[in-house]
Structure 1
């Protein structure tokens, strides 16, 4: 359907989204709403007492004793306090559970998305989604299902009571509702647009902040103002969106209550006419005025939440946009391989319409070592990412032990593989926790043994807290060589049957490369190994070498055989040897 979605339909969509989102918390939400409604009933008790006393005084009838009045009022105030506490606690508990569950659901869903779908999103925008947007939703239980729902129910009961006393009174009270709703609908459409713009700018701000922090060292050598400029533009955009949202909200907050209260004023005028004409006694007159002044108070409160509701709707829309992205399918009846050879069978992979890999077929026997070489952009790293199922192949199949990757569940697939790449991922935890990532239940002595095999026990032991030293963000307190050896220790500890090496030593200096090669000597024996490398000497001893160009295998064989063919590999080798000579490297 073209054109803007109507406010009423959008409101219904928001309510439906909220209810669907909070299914596990519905019991808590219902209890919070019931407690809030009971609190409002308790708050109405003093009004009933005043009416009771007024009727007794004006009619000359018997009055309740002061003790009874005090007891009733004390009970009402006590009940109001207890119910307020209960409603607040229940709403807060529902909100906390909802946000915790939602963040974990988003994280799990992101993990199951194809890598390309994650990478095309700004990391700052995803951070804002997981933190700020989810936090915005935390207000839903206490506002929507607590105060608002109970307040609207109280308004409906008061209006029904007025209609039972006199239909004319109820008719006057609702006099301004149609025009007020019309005004609110127009304001809601604009609020929705501005809330969506604000959410988008918030995501851009998150991206700019991450860019500023992560690129600080590099940018200082070029244009220090570049990331700050992006942050300034994002901040200005968010500021302008917030100003527009505030202005629209203020206008709506002024117009909607005034139009509603027009009906209350009309009811008050009718009460004066009734009192003067003898249609109402003084007690009824007071009651009508109390009701007229209070009947729309909860609706006024609802109006105050209008901007927040639109922000919630914008956040919900952004969250659902991620949760509805199709994930990599998992098999209904997963299979597990009994051996650990790897086979690529006529594999093709396309991304964005471009062919990255075409008709790639090769096998890595169990315990064998196969290397992949070729120019940058040939698709070498893509082979490894397809083997970890970061994406699904577009054509053909990849098998481990004869079992298609798509027929394995995530846990089985992960247990078969250990990955060591040039980009080392370290968490902001202890060194012990970083090494244990691949095997969380490993005992301390196994962690130490893996670190010794990876040539990193020495520098870890020299640290003040040893293995309990807490690393900074992304392990920045360690050198590049030290980070790489921690990654190798992690792979050694996991002891997976298949090892994938993606330029694992290409960024290391000669000393650190020698230490890493010793660590690889402890990691690789007996394993099925697929290695991507630019340093051709490091793979010259591989059982087989694949030469990849423009996504196709153009040569395959041992180092000696490929040199003898004087083809693509021989040309790569000659360039590599010339580069080493130019650099004066051995």
Structure 2
């Protein structure tokens, strides 16, 4: 486990961990040796000259004092090392996550990482601070006492020594017996946590449907599974605990029976027997605690294994000699991309000249957003090449690629800070005038004017204090401040009210002016403002041309346009081929 811990943390932490482990081991040895002094103390007290016990009592007191100092130093070192490891683990985890491609962060993985970065890291790093000292003591102190017993009487020592392999076998057997139950409990705990969050998020829907007192079946099922697996885990740990208790009690009984036999035969003194029985009893206490400590260590080991697996995830390779593109045209050259067993993009070729706008439309699941993700290198293509300015994005450093790309998503995430701080994420070194200009261009200044606190107003966690349209304006202001030559828009107005949609469109017009743009579009207003339109279906471009050209062709795009421009209460009629009807204001191409 220590090897796994050091592999997860890095070799720079090996020295402090080994020093802490050595100090804890020395503490456990001194503890065992201090108990060894009880033999001459009791021999003198029960002998003919009790005063002979004084030097042994002084030695015993000195040994206890040394043990107390070592114990203090060991615990202090454990806490300090544990704190340093915790800080180092968070730094290493954060640095590694920052290097992973954005496509890796699926919704399920984000939940797993958040759980692992919270409870998981604390449990794994708590080994040094809280579990290592009692674990070392439970192993080393009894072994030291057994060695002392062998030195005083080899026969009683052998009886005590016989328990060592039995304890090891019991622990290994208990670990294998409980491993499956522990893993199942962990999976069900995560499932139940997700269902609790889902239940809380579903409150508006449940209450709107009048189901305020109805039980949530999925949550109930998850909680029942947690109860079942917790019971199973407890029952799985029970045989190991009982077996360990039986082994320890058998060892003590064996020492007692053999000691009584030797004492009755006058082959060992009563005082020595009494002292050795005290030593045997003292060695039994830490052994009995092994079950609880080992269970907690197994839990920490599982978290360490998950951390190790996460840190072993390879980021996308960085070019050895990165190339900086001189132009900002975009090209997809026979690109194919698979996600799991599904082909998302299939031998797709597409070009966007510098300074032009391309709208990508098509049915849900056609691969529209994936195009943007491949261009921003959230993933690497399986075949073909994605180029920026004629340079394969894999030959451009991630920092340089993202510096040349501004991305505005449909779902905007804001940090729990002020509006100004969230805008400055686009370019942290921008001066105040540039930030104000970007906010004004995105029509965010009118939002700021009505917020209590204005620029200093906090947006709340995830931007909860702002509406969806207001958050989108912050995102556009952020992209405007970044001033990147390539702009990627992912359905940024598909779920906005008319007022916010007008403001966002105005901001988009300013953002995209003179830049190379690919926009995944639903709204007809967005499509009509593009220079070219690509209709995507099943990962392939099935139609490509200007808005008017595609309408005249009367193909897939024209049928989509007809459906999008039909009034909500009118018959399902579309335009005649070659015509170009104007869209209704709320037209939505889905």
Pick the TM interval, shorter chain.
Answer: 0.7 to 0.9
Inter-partner Cα distance in structure 1 for 2:220 and 2:213: 10
Contact 1:181 1:256 in 2 (8 A): no
The residue aligned with 1:397 is: 385
Inter-partner Cα distance in structure 2 for 1:132 and 1:246: 21
Pick one of 282, 285, 291 that aligns with 1:303.
Answer: 291
Aligned residues: 571
SS at match of 1:504: coil
Pick one of 398, 401, 404 that aligns with 1:416.
Answer: 404
TM-score scaled to structure 2, two decimals? Answer: 0.86
Map 1:30-49; keep pairs closer than 5 Å. Answer: 30-44=18-32, 47=35
The residue aligned with 2:535 is: 547
Pick one of 434, 437, 440 that aligns with 2:428.
Answer: 440
The residue aligned with 1:60 is: 49
Contact 2:35 2:145 in 1 (8 A): no
Q: How big is the shift at 1:325?
A: 4.5
Question: Relative to 1, partners in 2 of residues 1:163 and 1:42: Cα closer, same or farther, differing over 3 Å?
Answer: closer
Q: How big is the shift at 1:341?
A: 1.9
The residue aligned with 1:342 is: 330
Pick one of 175, 179, 184 that aligns with 1:197.
Answer: 184
Question: Relative to 1, partners in 2 of residues 1:97 and 1:221: Cα closer, same or farther, differing over 3 Å?
Answer: farther
Which whole-Å deviations, capped at 9, do the CAs of 1:238-278 have from their partners, x for residues lacking one? 22222222233344223313312322332233333334434
Determine whether 1:169 maps to 2:156: yes
Inter-partner Cα distance in structure 1 for 2:280 and 2:348: 78
Contact 1:124 1:204 in 2 (8 A): no
Inter-partner Cα distance in structure 1 for 2:300 and 2:283: 27
Determine whether 1:460 maps to 2:448: yes
Contact 1:344 1:361 in 2 (8 A): yes
Pick one of 104, 118, 121 that aligns with 1:131.
Answer: 118
Inter-partner Cα distance in structure 1 for 2:32 and 2:422: 59
Q: How big is the shift at 1:566?
A: 4.0
The residue aligned with 1:557 is: 545
Map 1:448-487; keep pairs closer than 5 Å. Answer: 448-487=436-475
Q: How big is the shift at 1:485?
A: 0.4
The residue aligned with 1:152 is: 139
Contact 1:544 1:556 in 2 (8 A): yes
The residue aligned with 1:186 is: 173
The residue aligned with 1:83 is: 70
Q: How big is the shift at 1:327?
A: 4.1
Question: Relative to 1, partners in 2 of residues 1:516 and 1:495: Cα closer, same or farther, differing over 3 Å?
Answer: same
Q: How big is the shift at 1:479?
A: 1.4
Question: Relative to 1, partners in 2 of residues 1:275 and 1:185: Cα closer, same or farther, differing over 3 Å?
Answer: same
Inter-partner Cα distance in structure 1 for 2:378 and 2:130: 40
SS at match of 1:328: coil
Which whole-Å deviations, capped at 9, do the CAs of 1:414-462 have from their partners, x for residues lacking one? 2121111221122233322222223334444433332122111222233
Map 1:232-271; keep pairs closer than 5 Å. Answer: 232-271=220-259
Map 1:492-511; keep pairs closer than 5 Å. Answer: 492-511=480-499
SS at match of 2:416: coil
Inter-partner Cα distance in structure 2 for 1:409 and 1:395: 20
Q: Which runs of 5+ in 1 are unaligned?
A: 1-13
Contact 2:42 2:275 in 1 (8 A): no
Inter-partner Cα distance in structure 2 for 1:130 and 1:226: 34
Inter-partner Cα distance in structure 1 for 2:37 and 2:314: 60
Q: Which runs of 5+ in 2 are unaligned?
A: 571-582
Contact 1:191 1:310 in 2 (8 A): no
Determine whether 1:312 maps to 2:336: no
Which whole-Å deviations, capped at 9, do the CAs of 1:9-58 have from their partners, x for residues lacking one? xxxxx565345335443333223333333433554576455444444452
State the Cα RMSD in Å. Answer: 3.2
Contact 1:334 1:407 in 2 (8 A): yes
Pick one of 526, 533, 545 that aligns with 2:521.
Answer: 533
